[in-house]
């Protein structure tokens, strides 16, 4: 089974550019070679996706659910080969990758359950009123429908859960949109394995052959070709601000702009309030160090900013954090560029006015990210907006606020965030209600006494915050609501029953939840 | 009561630029002068909106509902002054404006009912599972929250229902977003009256003073200043493609891009199938002529493209349409530019290859739009994509398809549409199921045996289609779902009950519909 259908003959094959993945584990390139997708192949892939859209988009939820579950089975059937390959390509520990595989399969299962139930189409029915004056009221019924072929960009830091068969792909396939994935160049072998699993699952469950395709490319060229193709109707990306912004702009500059959801990370501020700090500051400190250094801090929800209201227990908390950072073994980062960037950004931060180092963990190998904790006072933080830029890796900056006024100023200076966290006792909040509102206004998820890393996959999860955390704060890339990115409502006016999709037929053959005259029901109309 | 708070003193007032509205009725400028808003006033208005956002956004649904209903009352209290002023400024007939006022008040009432009930926040609750392995599952609760100050652009063709207190303003205020409106230069007096009504309503119901403000400007400058202001968090527009696109681009080019919904009109194809044509072609023809010429065709859902599958009754239908057009009295268009543009565009269309005139209505005054019906065959239509561009006014083009193959090609050539209409018998559809899918894939609303004009305001209405009909087909500007443009989901993780918004508290004090573990309920958790 070929990974991609290639037009052109053997001569074209000879001239083809090849790519190899780099292994942070060995510090060398892996031997397998992956052909770079040519422009005409990108075109061809999109045309194939367009061709199968009418079939795939009108399959029943149960059929597509079988497909998603089969993808999970096939991924599991790859066994240790997949885990070893992902380890070699990313340097992430085995236990983390086994966990990530579980998350990936779990996500597929949640989307399968969602579309098997079918209520996700948010059917709304407004009955006709032929006697209404001055004009009769028509019968109107609305449901969500898939938009068309979707371009997905695999993330570097999650080779499984945010990549080939990750949440973006799973949600798009669940909605009925064919997917063309741009493989992340950091884990081409992992991508090839998972792509094969998806295609086996497609075959096994009777899906059209081109329901899922992938392209390989160096830099942005292939990705931009994909986003600019008129047949692509939406896009999804998880990664850096610069990458997300470039693709978002390309999507917006098309003759027909398309929705493009980019999740671009954030600094995920954690606010530590006095009573909590006094009673359990050391534990909070240790918890935060664990969170920002875990897997070399390569999470978009990494707590990169810790905003502390000074008070009892402050010194003890800082001491505990200092000790924890010094204890923290360096871990491999997933790529050379990521590691170089981490060093540069850490150095820049430590050179800013008023920023002092609290501690650094032990140095590791040339690809390890060294845990680094720094501090700055509120005034110096406020006058240097560049301190708000994300440092991708095991770095965090403590912003020390002498009083509530300074704390409030710091909170109000913050840009959009995926998450904001309060480390507090309930009594800490009395008189500080405005702080809660300030945080909510800036984030997609508010965490109470926890760490922002560990993004639960569930219907109520929202993973997407105001700019620059994401390109559109109205959408999420994690959780079952992620499906909403790929669908649009369509209204049917006065259509005969026989021509309505089952989800909108009066007797509700699918037994889904529908909103009729403002009330939700699984009954018919 | 001042319409806008003006910084600067009397000297500044003297230098101020003034605007007057033009009256299509009299063909002259009206005497009242309206000061053009200066840059610093735009800034000031946004700052005021930011300042009151925390108060307004956290008011109860009932409080904001009172406000919306009071706006309706105050609009009605303006009495005939409002109708006469709108007539003078737009040339629209009195009966239409009385109807439009009813629609405007009705919309306000529907949004009031929606937020009084409160279920619109789409609360989702995922209970915690402390025993889950390997990690406990947190408690997650999600709801929709308003994004911040919103910029709204009044439409020229609907001085009431899509303008100052129209659907955009009503939905934004309902959601808890303060509104800054850019008044349409065509009806500045109508805007001043309605704005006053909104402010009286705000005062009467205890709203913050700056919950609604408006700006006046010549061309795009003031509008662009508004959209570019960092305090504006979203925008809404109804109008021309060029206007919508310019504002959308400005919103996308901000350092922090914001969602901007532009409804830019479309040609609203109507497909006439053989059995329907044979049995009632003349009635269909008359109905369509009425629809595309009503109020000089100044509707974004005007059926500007009538795609006919040739068959029995074709000649009779064309004859009926010819006669109806010749009978159709010319009506005033709402502005000089609109009328000039209509003439130019109609002339351009009639000069295209293969386009022939079927008939023109009687000529009217210099500002009247003359009903015009033309025809073209499918082949000539397909090779000239410019025939798909909207002609704003009482114009429609019949595309004659000799067979189903030609019809399908024509359907597949169409760009995004607000609406698509089928004039058909159920038997017409047998073997033509693909046509239905082709139409659905291209529109926001599918109409069966009706006219697309007359956009019902109801929960299941979707008024927004794929590009270029609207900037984002996932959102609507008509119906109660229009509120979704101004809100974003926020997740609360493990928050104590006392700190949760009422909509998310376990016992469900607001008794709203919430989704708990996948099922909708008004009960507590």
Structure confidence by residue, pLDDT tens digits, A163-212? 999 999 999 999 999 999 999 999 999 999 999 999 999 999 999 999 99
Q: Residue A69 catalytic?
A: no
Torsions phi, psi of A215, nearest 5? -125, 155
Nearest to B473 among A436, A461, A488 (CB): A488
pTM of the model as a whole: 0.96
In this structure, what token pair is assigned to residue A247? 């693709």
Place of tokens 């003439």: B343
Cα B55 → chain centroid: 28
Q: Helix or strand or coil: residue A137?
A: strand
Task: Check pLDDT > 70 for residue B62.
Answer: yes
- Which pLDDT score, from 0 to 100, does residue A3 have? 46
Task: Please compute Rg for chain B using Cα positions.
Answer: 25
pLDDT of B328 > 90? The answer is yes
d(CA A2, CA A335): 28
Cα B304 to chain centroid distance, Å, stands at: 18
Split at pLDDT 50, 70, 90, the class of A218 is confident
Contact yes or no for A188/A216 (Cβ under 8 A): yes
CB A347 within 8 Å of CB A265? no
Nearest to B101 by CA among B142, B30, B158, B151: B158
Task: Quote the CA–CA distance of A309 and A431 in Å, as a whole number.
Answer: 14
- Closest by CA to A179, choosing from A193, A192, A190, A195, is A195
Q: Residue B123: helix, strand or coil by DSSP?
A: strand
Environment class of residue A398 by beta-carbon count within 10 Å: exposed (0-12), middle (13-18) or buried (19+)?
buried
- Is the predicted pLDDT of residue B9 greater than 60, yes or no? no
CA dist A251 and B249 (Å) reads 12
> If residue B418 lies in a helix (H) or strand (E), which one and from where to where?
strand B417-423
Chain B nearest-CA distance from A331, in A, is 22
Structure tokens at A386: 């560049």
| Selection from A176, A49, A54 nearest residue A120 by Cα | A176
| Residue A403 tokens, joined | 């009083």
Contacts of A476 in chain B (CB under 8 A): 489
Under the banding of pLDDT at 50, 70 and 90, the label for residue B14 is low
Query: Given a cut of 90, is residue A302 above it in pLDDT?
Result: yes
What span, in angstroms and rounded, lies between the C-alpha atoms of A485 and A405?
Answer: 39
> Least CA distance to A253: which residue of chain B?
B249
Contacts of A294 (CB under 8 A, 6+ apart): A453
Q: Taking the CA atoms of B142, B143, B149 and B150 in sequence, report the sign of the dihedral they define.
A: positive
Asked if B125 and B500 touch (Cβ cutoff 8 Å), the reply is no
Per-residue pLDDT, B134: 84
Would the pLDDT of B18 be above 80?
yes
Tokens of A232: 């692509």
Rounded CA gap, B332 and B181, in Å? 26
Average pLDDT, chain B: 95
Residue with tokens 């709204």: B152
Superfamily, domain B39-264+476-485: Aldehyde Dehydrogenase; Chain A, domain 1 (3.40.605.10)
Can you tell me the distance from the alpha carbon of A401 to that of A390, in angstroms, rounded to the nearest whole number? 20
Percent of chain A with pLDDT strictly greater than 90: 94
The yes-or-no answer on residue B41 being catalytic is: no
Lookup result for tokens 């008129």 = A230
> For the residues B344-371, what does the mean pLDDT come to?
96
Q: Which of B261, B213, B253, B216 is nearest to B235 (CA)?
A: B261
In the prediction, which pLDDT does B2 show? Answer: 41
Which of A106, A491, A494, A501 is the best substitution to test chain B (most B C-beta atoms within 10 A)? A491
Residue B12 has pLDDT above 60, yes or no: no
- C-alpha A504/C-alpha A395 separation (Å) is 51
**What confidence tier does A1 reach under pLDDT thresholds 50, 70, 90?**
very low
A80 to chain B, closest Cα gap in Å: 20
pLDDT band at residue A456 under the 50/70/90 scheme: very high
Instruction: Kindly list the residues from chain A whose CB atom is less than 8 angstroms away from the CB atom of residue B437.
Output: 54, 58
Give the model's confidence band at B219: pLDDT under 50 very low, under 70 low, under 90 confident, else very high. confident
**Chain B residues close to A468, C-beta within 8 Å:** 256
B window 239-278, beta carbon within 8 A of A: 248-249, 252, 256-259
pLDDT in tens, B473-503: 999 999 999 999 999 999 999 999 999 999 9
Phi and psi at A448, nearest 5°, equal -105, 120
B489 in Cβ contact with A462 (< 8 Å): yes
The encoded tokens of residue B326 equal 């010749």
ipTM here: 0.96
Q: In sequence order, which ranges of B91-209 are alpha helices (DSSP H)?
A: 94-117, 167-175, 188-204
User: Taking residues B143-158, what's their average pLDDT?
Assistant: 96
Say yes or no: A519 contacts chain B, CB-CB below 8 A.
Answer: yes
Task: Compute the count of residue pairs across chains A and B with CB atoms less than 8 Å apart.
Answer: 193
Q: How many residues does chain A have?
A: 525
| Closest-CA residue to A126 (of A495, A407, A501) | A495
pLDDT-derived band at B305 (thresholds 50, 70, 90) equals very high
Given this model, what pLDDT does residue B6 score? Answer: 44
Contact assessment for residue B495 and residue B289, using Cβ atoms and an 8 Å cutoff: no
Following DSSP, what letter does each residue of B190-244 receive, concatenated? Answer: HHHHHHHHHHHHHHHTT--GGGEEEE--STTHHHHHHHH-TT--EEEEES-HHHH
Whether A128 and A156 have beta carbons less than 8 Å apart is answered as no
Pairing of strands A140-146, A305-309: unpaired
Q: A358-382: string of b/e by CB count within 10 Å (b at 16+)?
A: bbbbeebeebbbbbbbbbbbbbbbb
Cα B277-B282-B288 angle, rounded to 5 deg: 90
Q: What is d(CA B17, CA A249) in angstroms, rounded to the nearest whole number? A: 37
Q: Which of B41, B177, B185, B300 is catalytic?
A: B300
What is the bridge-based pairing of β-strands B150-153 and B234-238? parallel
B137 class by beta-carbon count within 10 Å (0-12 exposed, 13-18 middle, 19+ buried)? middle
What is the C-alpha end-to-end distance of chain B, expressed in Å?
48
Tokens at B221, concatenated: 């400058």
Mean pLDDT of B38-55: 97
Task: Name the residue in chain A with its Cα closest to that of B50.
Answer: A441
Region B188-192 average pLDDT: 98
Asked whether the beta carbons of A258 and A234 are under 8 A apart, the reply is yes
Alpha-carbon distance of A364 to A362, in angstroms, equals 6
Q: What tens digit of pLDDT does each residue of A83-93 get?
A: 999 999 999 99
Mutate to test the interface with B, among A460, A478, A484, A504 (most CBs of B within 10 A): A460
- Rounded to the nearest angstrom, the gap between the alpha carbon of residue B210 and the centroid of all alpha carbons in its chain is 24
Rounded to whole angstroms, the Cα distance separating A505 from A498 reads: 8
Length of chain B: 525
Cβ atoms A213, A180 nearer than 8 A: yes
DSSP H stretches of helix in A231-383: 241-253, 274-293, 314-327, 336-351, 378-383
Q: Does B523 touch chain A (CB under 8 A)?
A: no
Q: What are phi and psi of B431, to 5 degrees?
A: 85, -5
Q: A26 and A366 in contact (C-beta within 8 Å)?
A: no
Banded pLDDT at A133 (limits 50, 70, 90): confident
- A36-264+476-485 has CATH 3.40.605.10 classification: yes
Question: Where are chain A's structural domains?
Answer: 36-264+476-485, 270-448
pLDDT of A10 > 70? The answer is no
Residue A489 sits at the chain B interface (C-beta within 8 Å): yes
Residue A7 pLDDT class (50, 70, 90 cuts): very low
Q: State how far the Cα of B327 lies from the Cα of A109, in Å rounded to an integer.
A: 62
Residues 6+ apart with CB under 8 A from B337: none
Kindly write down the DSSP assignment for every residue of A394-447, as one continuous string. SEEEEEEESSHHHHHHHHHH---EEEEEEE--GGGGTT-HHHHHHHHTTEEEEE
Residue A470 pairs with which residues in a beta bridge? A263
Which of A257, A441, A476 minimises the CB distance to B489? A476
> CA-CA distances (angstroms) from residue A450 to A173, A424, A437, B139, B179?
33, 10, 19, 11, 36
Angle at B287 between CA B283 and CA B293, to 5 degrees: 145
Q: Where does the pLDDT of residue B5 fall: very low under 50, low under 70, confident under 90, or very high at 90 and above?
A: very low
Active-site hit among B263, B310, B331, B390: B263
The CATH fold assigned to B269-448 is: Aldehyde Dehydrogenase; Chain A, domain 2 (3.40.309)
Contacts of A518 in chain B (CB under 8 A): 114, 117, 119, 459
From chain B residues 358-417, the ones with a CB under 8 A of any chain A CB are 415-416
pLDDT at B11 over 60: no
Under DSSP, the state recorded for A477 is S
Of A407, A408, A423, A468, the closest CA to residue A443 belongs to: A468
A434 and B481 Cβ atoms separated by less than 8 Å:
no
Q: A430 — contact with chain B (CB < 8 Å)? A: no
Closest CA to A235 of A214, A250, A221: A250
Is 60 exceeded by the pLDDT of residue B1? no
Chain A neighbours among B 285-324 (CB < 8 Å)? none
Residue B198: C-alpha distances to residues A484, B35, B51, B60, B146 (Å)? 34, 19, 19, 19, 20
Partner residue facing A437 (CB), from B54, B117, B487: B54
Beta-carbon separation of B461 and A491 below 8 A: yes
Rounded to whole angstroms, the Cα distance separating A361 from B479 reads 57
Nearest to A446 among B437, B490, B513 (CB): B490
What is the C-alpha R_g of chain A? 25
The mean predicted confidence, pLDDT, of chain A is 95
Candidate CATH numbers 3.40.309.10, 1.10.3720.10, 3.90.76.10, 3.40.50.1950; the one for domain A270-448: 3.40.309.10
Q: What is the pLDDT of residue A238?
A: 96
- Which one, of A272, A269, A333, lies nearest residue A304 by Cα? A269
- pLDDT band of A6, cuts 50, 70, 90: very low
């Amino acid at each position: 089974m070929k990974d991609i259908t290639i037009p052109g003959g053997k001569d074209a094959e000879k001239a083809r550019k090849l790519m190899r993945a780099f292994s942070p584990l060995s510090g060398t390139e892996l031997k397998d070679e992956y052909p770079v997708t040519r422009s005409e192949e990108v075109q061809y892939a999109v045309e194939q996706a367009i061709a199968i859209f009418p079939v795939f988009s009108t399959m029943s939820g149960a059929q597509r659910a079988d497909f998603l579950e089969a993808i999970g089975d096939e991924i599991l059937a790859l066994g240790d080969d997949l885990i070893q390959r992902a380890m070699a390509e990313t340097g992430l520990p085995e236990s983390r990758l086994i966990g990530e595989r579980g998350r990936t399969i779990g996500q597929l299962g949640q989307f399968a359950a969602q579309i098997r139930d079918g209520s996700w189409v948010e059917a709304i029915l407004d009955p006709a009123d032929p006697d209404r004056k001055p004009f009769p009221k028509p019968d109107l019924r609305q449901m969500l429908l898939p938009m068309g072929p979707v371009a997905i960009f695999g993330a570097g830091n999650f080779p499984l859960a945010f990549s080939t068969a990750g949440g973006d792909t799973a949600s798009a396939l669940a909605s009925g949109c064919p997917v063309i994935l741009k493989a992340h160049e950091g884990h081409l072998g992992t991508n090839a394995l998972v792509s094969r699993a998806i295609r086996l699952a497609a075959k096994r469950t009777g899906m059209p052959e081109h329901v899922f395709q992938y392209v390989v490319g160096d830099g942005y060229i292939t990705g931009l070709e994909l986003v600019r193709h008129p047949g692509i109707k939406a896009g999804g990306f998880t990664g850096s601000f610069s990458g997300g912004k470039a693709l978002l702009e390309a999507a917006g500059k098309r003759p027909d702009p398309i929705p493009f959801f980019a999740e671009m990370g954030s600094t995920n501020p954690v606010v530590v309030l006095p009573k909590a700090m006094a009673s359990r500051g050391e534990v909070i400190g240790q918890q935060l160090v664990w969170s920002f250094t875990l897997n070399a801090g390569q999470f978009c929800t990494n707590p990169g900013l810790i905003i502390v209201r000074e008070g009892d227990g402050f010194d003890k908390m800082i001491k505990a954090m200092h000790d924890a950072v010094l204890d923290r073994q360096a871990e491999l980062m997933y790529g050379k560029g990521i590691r170089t960037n981490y060093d540069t950004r850490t150095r820049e931060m430590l050179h800013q006015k008023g920023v002092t180092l609290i501690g650094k963990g032990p140095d590791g190998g040339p690809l390890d990210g060294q845990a680094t904790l720094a501090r700055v006072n509120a005034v110096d933080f406020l006058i240097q907006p560049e301190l708000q830029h994300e440092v991708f890796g095991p770095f965090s900056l403590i912003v020390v606020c002498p009083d509530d006024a300074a704390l409030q100023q710091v909170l109000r200076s913050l840009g959009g965030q995926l998450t904001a966290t309060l480390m507090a006792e309930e009594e800490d909040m009395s008189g500080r209600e405005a702080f809660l509102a300030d945080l909510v206004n800036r984030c997609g998820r508010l965490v109470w006494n926890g760490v922002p890393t560990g993004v639960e996959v569930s219907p109520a999860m929202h993973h997407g915050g105001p700019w620059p955390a994401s390109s559109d704060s109205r959408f999420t890339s994690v959780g079952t609501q992620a499906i909403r990115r790929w669908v649009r409502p369509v209204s049917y006016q006065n259509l005969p029953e026989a021509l309505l999709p089952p989800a909108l037929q009066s007797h509700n053959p699918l037994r889904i939840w529908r909103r009729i005259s403002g009330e939700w029901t699984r009954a018919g109309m």
